[in-house]
């Protein structure tokens, strides 16, 4: 069974704990060193096998996720798949799929430039973070209000493609992450040739000319930090209605 980035042996032997109320066994997830009373076949003990299925170095402890300050590396806590993979590979030292309070406290720098990330939700868990580089992604917002130790931020070149309707409107509430229109300012639109175009925002609706190719704005990220983001605009192609041609 794989949890986090490592695999574990499922111990389904007689000594697994039995829950009479639930009517099920609590099977143990073992590493190889504590699973030594079981014998692997040659196909399951080769170098190639372990390269394809890296085993955990310790038994899996399901209680780790409930420890004070621990954060599960899950889609709920880190919605963006690319960011979640980065967090798992970079900070989950024991590969149990959970960030312990100690692992979190060690994170002072995050560099995720050019990783195709559109949502950095989960960044708030890293209270010791001092430096963040998220250049060249697809971010449209960034909330650093919980990262009070942050001293260095590099957040440039983030673009995200949106489609406007025939009236030049787009619903900003559909942007990924925790976009808040109250935090966005200095809206500006441009054609592909660089000519300015008017942009207006009312509630969650952005309106601009259909000839607009990009919309730029400044976003208040919290803790005195701000960043610029760009929406690349493509018009929605309206379908051609059916028509009847009459020949006289």
Cβ neighbourhood burial of 244 (10 Å; 0-12, 13-18, 19+): exposed
**Residue-level pLDDT at 245:** 57
Q: Is the pLDDT of residue 159 over 50?
A: yes
- Tell me the per-residue pLDDT of 161-179, one tens digit each, with 9 for 90 and over: 999 999 999 999 999 999 9
**Residue-level pLDDT at 5:** 59
Query: In terms of Cα–Cα distance, which of 206, 202, 222 is closest to 214?
Result: 206
**Residue-level pLDDT at 235:** 81
In sequence order, the 6+-apart residues with CB closer than 8 A to the CB of 162 are 170, 175, 231, 232, 233, 234
pTM recorded for the entire structure: 0.72
Q: Is the pLDDT of residue 160 over 90?
A: yes
Report d(CA 158, CA 213) in Å as an integer: 15
Least-confidence region, from 48-57, 122-131, 196-205, 210-219: 48-57
Q: Is the pLDDT of residue 14 over 90?
A: no
Q: Is the pLDDT of residue 139 over 50?
A: yes
**Residue-level pLDDT at 2:** 67
Torsion 146-149-151-157 (CA) sign: negative
In sequence order, the 6+-apart residues with CB closer than 8 A to the CB of 182 are none
Query: What percentage of the chain exceeds 90 in pLDDT?
Result: 64
**Residue-level pLDDT at 239:** 55
Q: What confidence tier does 60 reach under pLDDT thresholds 50, 70, 90?
A: low
């Amino acid at each position: 069974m794989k949890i986090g980035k490592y695999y574990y042996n499922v111990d389904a032997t007689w000594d697994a704990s039995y829950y009479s109320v639930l009517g099920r066994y609590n099977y143990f997830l073992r590493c190889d060193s504590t699973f030594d009373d079981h014998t692997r076949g040659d196909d399951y003990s080769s170098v190639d096998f372990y390269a394809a299925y890296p085993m955990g170095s310790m038994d899996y402890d399901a209680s780790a996720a409930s420890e004070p300050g621990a954060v599960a590396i899950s889609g709920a806590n880190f919605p963006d798949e690319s960011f979640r993979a980065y967090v798992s590979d970079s900070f989950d030292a024991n590969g149990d799929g959970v960030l312990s309070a100690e692992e979190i406290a060690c994170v002072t720098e995050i560099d995720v430039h050019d990783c195709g990330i559109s949502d950095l939700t989960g960044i708030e868990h890293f209270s010791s973070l001092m430096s963040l580089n998220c250049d060249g992604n697809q971010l449209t917002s960034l909330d650093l209000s919980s990262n009070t130790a942050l001293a260095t931020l590099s957040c440039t070149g983030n673009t995200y493609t949106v489609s406007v309707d025939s009236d030049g409107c787009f619903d900003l509430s559909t942007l990924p992450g925790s976009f808040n229109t109250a935090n966005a300012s200095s809206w500006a639109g441009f054609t592909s040739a660089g000519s300015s175009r008017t942009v207006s925002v009312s509630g969650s609706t952005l309106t601009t000319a259909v000839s607009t190719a990009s919309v730029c704005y400044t976003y208040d990220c919290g803790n005195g930090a701000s960043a610029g983001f760009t929406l690349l605009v493509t018009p929605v192609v309206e379908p051609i209605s059916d028509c009847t041609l009459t020949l006289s």
